[in-house]
Amino acid sequence: MKRFYPPDAGSPPVGGAADAGAADAGLAAGIAEEISRRLARSAIPIPVGVSNRHLHLSAEHLETLFGRGSEMTVLRPLGQPGQFACGQTVDLEGPKGRVRGVRVLGPVRPLTQIEVSLSDARALGIDPPLRQSGSLEGAVGVRLIGSAGAVEAPGSVIIAQRHLHLHLADAARLGLNDGEIVRVRAGNPSLRPTVFENVVARVSEKFALEFHLDTDEANAAWVKTGDVAHIA
């Protein structure tokens, strides 16, 4: 379906009497349809999931850090199907300092990926890029320290782009496509109501509906896991 996106802060199209006709009527109908679509979707509650600093490990790094033959232990399942917090934690070491006890998330991935907040990055003395999970272009390195060993992990640290996970059914209900950028309103209205810009919609049959923020973002808006957000 072709959608018409009205400008955020513009004037409605102005036409002289001579221009008024079927085209304008069609435009007006399109705008009305778009507005009602947006009103409907902004009423749908979306659970918030706050991502604390964490890392995904390759099988090779898992063994280096925790010993040959090590396997991830399941501490608890996460909001996304099949994902879990592991019993294992790792210390991160950068040029300026250490961040201790960073949770490993499972399952094992082909590449190690470490997601930190900007506050963590400052404490470590590193300058990671903002990236979507799975996109490690320009990612920076850090030293990982586990219970059985340590390893340099170059090109592995990112700050996660805020994003919305959607199952196919959620995407249909909300009228969103994979990769689409939306605004999400979150936060206690009486404390720090906040609209988050540049939220990437990520659609997969493996996902459950959830709005993911890191701890810096969540604290700024006074939101926590389990709170409810809405598309703005």
Interface ranges with Zn ion (CB under 5 A): 212
Which residue lies nearer to Zn ion by CB, 61 or 212?
212
Nearer to Zn ion, 63 or 210 (CB): 210
Min separation Cβ 42 and Zn ion, Å:
21
Q: Which is nearer to Zn ion, 56 or 212 (CB)?
A: 212
Range 89-114 burial, b when 16+ CB lie within 10 A, else e: bbbbbbeeeebeebebbbebbeebbb
Nearer to Zn ion, 53 or 212 (CB): 212
Phi, psi (deg, nearest 5) at residue 192 = -135, 65
Least distance to Zn ion, CB of residue 94, Å: 24
- Least distance (Å) between residue 71 CB and Zn ion: 24
Tell me how far apart the alpha carbons of residues 213 and 98 are, in angstroms, rounded to a whole number: 23
Cβ neighbourhood burial of 202 (10 Å; 0-12, 13-18, 19+): buried
Determine the residue with CB nearest Zn ion.
Answer: 212
Q: Give the nearest distance from C-beta 186 to Zn ion in angstroms.
A: 15
Helix (H) or strand (E) holding 26: helix 22-41
| Alpha-carbon Rg for the chain in angstroms | 22
Continuous segment of H or E residues that includes residue 99: strand 98-106
> At closest approach, how far in Å is the CB of 3 from Zn ion?
26
Nearer to Zn ion, 78 or 108 (CB): 78
